[in-house]
Amino acid sequence: MNYGFLDFLGLLGALGIFIYGMKIMSEALQKSAGGSLRRILKGMTTNRFMAVFTGFFITALVQSSSATTVMVVSFVNAGLLTLLESIGVIMGANIGTTITAWLVSALGFKVKIIALALPIIGVAFPFLFSNNKKYRNLAEIIIGFGILFIGLDFLKQGVPDIKNNPGIMEFLEHYTHFGYGSILLFLVIGIILTILVQS
């Protein structure tokens, strides 16, 4: 299976949907962020233990560390959390992933956020036309969240399977024989990509 130019464009499109969803969500959070929401978030991240526990609990609840991480990034973008406060929550989210594995083993199934993305967009959409500003902002937050996870799902599907794409494997292997130089190279690539997509 060859990974062609159209596949690459599809991957860029998925990335665009993901970033657009985050943009909508972050802007809506900025508009609707009142003192009460700020106080709640500050209370959940008062110290490192509370921040880690918050990330752990939310991930165990929604069964997706990606969902938790994305929400935290949106809060940081909206200025509701500082970078330092967000680190503990993201650490907790990664720990909470183990709970997800236990739940899958115990219950035999996993809740897929993507399966709920379109329904929650459908529920929130009518509120975009509400005369109540709070309802409109809440609808934008929910719709942005849904679009974001649709983009994330497309990204997962669009990333090439290295096993079935020997050309990509050869390209990567070509740059893995330089010792620390290889590590530095891929580190720089990761930093550049993160700066470009701001995520």
- What is the chain's alpha carbon radius of gyration, rounded to the nearest angstrom? 19
Residues 185 and 93 in one domain: no
What integer pLDDT is reported at residue 35 of this predicted model?
61
Residues 145 and 74 in one domain: yes
d(CA 137, CA 140): 5
* Residue stretches of the chain with pLDDT short of 50: 198
> Is the whole model's pTM more than 0.85, yes or no?
no
d(CA 30, CA 141): 10
**Domain range enclosing 178:** 161-199
Residues 179 and 141 in one domain: no
What integer pLDDT is reported at residue 73 of this predicted model?
79
What integer pLDDT is reported at residue 72 of this predicted model?
82
d(CA 4, CA 6): 6
Residues 60 and 134 in one domain: yes
Residues 128 and 182 in one domain: no
What integer pLDDT is reported at residue 194 of this predicted model?
62
Residues 141 and 53 in one domain: yes
Over the stretch 161-194, which tens digit does the pLDDT of each residue have?
666 666 666 766 777 777 777 778 778 777 766 6
What integer pLDDT is reported at residue 107 of this predicted model?
55
What integer pLDDT is reported at residue 123 of this predicted model?
92
What integer pLDDT is reported at residue 51 of this predicted model?
85
Alpha helix ranges (H) inside the chain: 5-32, 35-44, 48-62, 65-77, 83-107, 113-124, 133-158, 166-174, 180-197
Residues 199 and 125 in one domain: no
What integer pLDDT is reported at residue 112 of this predicted model?
66
